[in-house]
């Protein structure tokens, strides 16, 4: 399939995990992918694996100067940007009352401010173009909560609300903005926050109607739809990709 043929797509946090899966799907659908990640090595490696005109750019989504430099580079190289996927994220699990406020700042800076920073830089350009698609990666934690992830849930809930407001504000410019909420996914990040615990992993799998964790490709398929012209009349929507763990 080539639903994204000739589109220029920026994917943040695309060096590994869900972000890399999204980048691979975008490229398979015909897009030229800009792989951004705070880890320059993984960004470059992913871009090289995608081939074509894909490029990797080190980008710290918490720093507006870094985001602006990336957007300027994309504009100079390609002349436009058709898709923005705000995927970069991070979490540290533990009871809120035992948490370190310094970790609150990091979670909010990466998960919420990261989306604000990239959107602030990209949306005016899409508005000027008169077209574009933004897909924000939130989490089911932001819809129904998640024990041990209070601040992360708050940040992801903010992304869901932000998505709806941007969809309203950008509709007059023919830019659609939608949100994808992953459930538990089999990634390095998930393992780093306790997913490598066999008991926790098994308990989660038993709670999921499809009896398995999400793979990056499961999320990427939905993101690709939202980014395509097939979703041209869809905006302000939030969809869970959770194997039925959440139904709302």
Rounded CA gap, 224 and 230, in Å?
10
The candidate with the shortest Cα–Cα distance to 193, out of 105, 103, 108, 114, is: 103
CA distances in angstroms from 147 to 54, 96, 138, 152, 154, listed in the order given: 38, 9, 16, 10, 12
Task: Say if CB 178 and CB 224 are below 8 A apart.
Answer: no
Please state, as a whole number, how many other Cβ atoms lie within 10 Å of the Cβ of residue 125. 16
> Which residue among 78, 113, 120, 152 is the active-site one?
152
**Mapping DSSP to helix (H, G, I), strand (E, B) and coil, where does residue 14 land?**
coil
Q: Which residue has the tokens 């698609």?
A: 133
The candidate with the shortest Cα–Cα distance to 73, out of 117, 119, 115, 121, is: 121
Active site residue 113: no
The string of DSSP codes covering 199-243 is HHHHHHHHHSTTSSPBPHHHHHHHHHHHHSGGGTT--S-EEEEST
- Residue 198 token pair: 């066999």
- Residue 107 token pair: 């979670």
Rounded CA gap, 122 and 143, in Å?
26
| Positions marked catalytic | 152
């Amino acid at each position: 399939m080539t639903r994204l043929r000739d589109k220029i797509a920026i994917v943040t946090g695309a060096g590994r995990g869900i972000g890399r899966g999204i980048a691979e799907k975008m490229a398979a659908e015909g897009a030229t992918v800009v792989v951004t990640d705070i880890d320059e090595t993984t960004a470059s490696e992913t871009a090289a694996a995608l081939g074509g005109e894909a490029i990797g750019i080190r980008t710290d989504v918490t720093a507006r100067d870094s985001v602006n430099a990336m957007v300027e580079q994309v504009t100079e190289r390609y002349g436009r940007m058709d898709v923005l996927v705000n995927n970069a994220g991070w979490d540290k699990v533990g009871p809120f009352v035992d948490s370190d406020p310094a970790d609150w700042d990091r979670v909010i800076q990466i998960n919420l401010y990261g989306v604000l920073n990239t959107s602030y830089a990209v949306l005016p350009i899409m508005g000027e173009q008169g077209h574009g698609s933004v897909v924000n990666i939130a989490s089911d934690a932001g819809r129904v909560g998640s024990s041990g992830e209070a601040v992360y849930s708050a940040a992801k809930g903010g992304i869901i609300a932000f998505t709806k407001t941007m969809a309203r504000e950008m509709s007059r410019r023919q830019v659609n903005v939608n949100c994808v909420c992953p459930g538990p996914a089999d990634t390095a990040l998930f393992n780093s926050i306790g997913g490598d615990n066999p008991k926790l992993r098994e308990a989660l799998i038993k709670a999921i109607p499809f009896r398995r964790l999400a793979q990056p490709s499961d999320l990427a398929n939905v993101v690709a739809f939202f980014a395509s012209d097939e979703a041209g009349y869809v905006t302000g929507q939030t969809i869970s990709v959770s194997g039925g763990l959440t139904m709302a």
